[in-house]
Amino acid sequence: MIHFEGDNIGSLLKAEFSLHTDFDGFNPVSFKEGKAWTNIPFKEQSGRISGSSEDSENGNIFTYQGKFFIHRVREEIRTELHPYLGQHIVMRLTDFNGETYIIGAPGMPVTLSVTSDTGENYTNENGSLFSFSISQPYEYLKA
């Protein structure tokens, strides 16, 4: 892998999620017995998170969105990840700089969507592109 020579390395290293009902507490994060973060095995250098904040009459609103790609259209993605589409999830994302972001919270779920594509040519990469987003009244939590 080739890295940018500066101090800031791009892309996501790790993406994980959990259902909002899996938590005992949230600041700091604690799970119910037998519950934990679920790792999402996405393609290296395909993940990103971006954020913005906007002042509103109710205070700051922080918006985060991003994506990650899972190579090959395959059944295990449909059976293991698709059931979480439309669910109330919280995500923990770690970038290559070691910064960890927890976005979403019980009552403020991250929205996860997916598009799958085989590509038009045999040389095209096929797979599933997952996109996530949330607007919340607080900045992300640090893990």
Residue 85 and residue 114 in contact, taking contact as beta carbons nearer than 8 Å: yes
Q: What is the pTM of this model?
A: 0.83
Please give the chain's pLDDT, 143 residues, in tens: 555 556 667 899 999 999 988 999 887 889 999 999 999 888 899 999 999 999 988 889 999 999 999 887 677 777 777 777 777 899 999 998 889 999 998 888 898 888 888 878 887 788 888 899 999 998 888 76
Before 137, cis peptide (omega within 30)? no
Specify if 129 maps to a domain. yes
Specify if 51 maps to a domain. yes
Specify if 3 maps to a domain. no
For the chain, the domain total comes to: 1
* Segments forming the whole domain that contains residue 50: 12-136
